[in-house]
Amino acid sequence: MEAQGEARARPDVMTILAGVVATGATTAKALRANAELFDRLLAAVRAAGVAPSDLQTPALSVQPRFAPGEQDRAEHEDWPSRIVGYVAGNRKELRLRDLRCASALIEALFAAGANEVRGPTFSFADDRPQRRAAERAAVAEARAEAEN
């Protein structure tokens, strides 16, 4: 016998991946430009109510930027390619626990210069009550089916 249970509840946590991408002629210039943008982004995030413990850095990257039409050459070892600069990206995963501030946070991200935003996704700080309710519903369904 198999039974399923379902529980519904409003999420209480919003997660967004937000970041900035900047370019520069050298890796140092790209990283410096990125750091300046990222500092503005972090200030806006903190002002919007995201706690420092709810920030994680999932990615920092630096990649070459090729002259127009040179990307195909870069993918073939025997073709010389010309690097004309670098692209630096930095992203943070943000968790917002006061969902009343969600719109303000999203607006603040873009106003601060975020040029990469993924999400939001919604979840629970603690999903145990929902799982227990779903388990109780499944047991009740199984019991009702067994009694018939």
- Which letter does DSSP use for residue 19 in this model? E
What amino acid occupies position 41?
L
* End-to-end Cα distance, the chain: 13
- DSSP H helix total and E strand total for the chain: 4, 4
The per-residue pLDDT for 138 is 85
Whether pLDDT at 120 is above 90:
yes
Q: For residues 143 and 139, what is the distance between their CA atoms, to the nearest angstrom?
A: 6
Whether pLDDT at 3 is above 90:
no
Specify the CATH architecture of the domain 13-125. 2-Layer Sandwich (3.30)
Whether pLDDT at 95 is above 80:
yes
- Which letter does DSSP use for residue 67 in this model? P
pTM over 0.75: no
Domain spans of the chain?
13-125
- CB contact at 8 A, 12 and 97: yes
Mean pLDDT (the chain) is 88
Q: For residues 138 and 14, what is the distance between their CA atoms, to the nearest angstrom?
A: 28
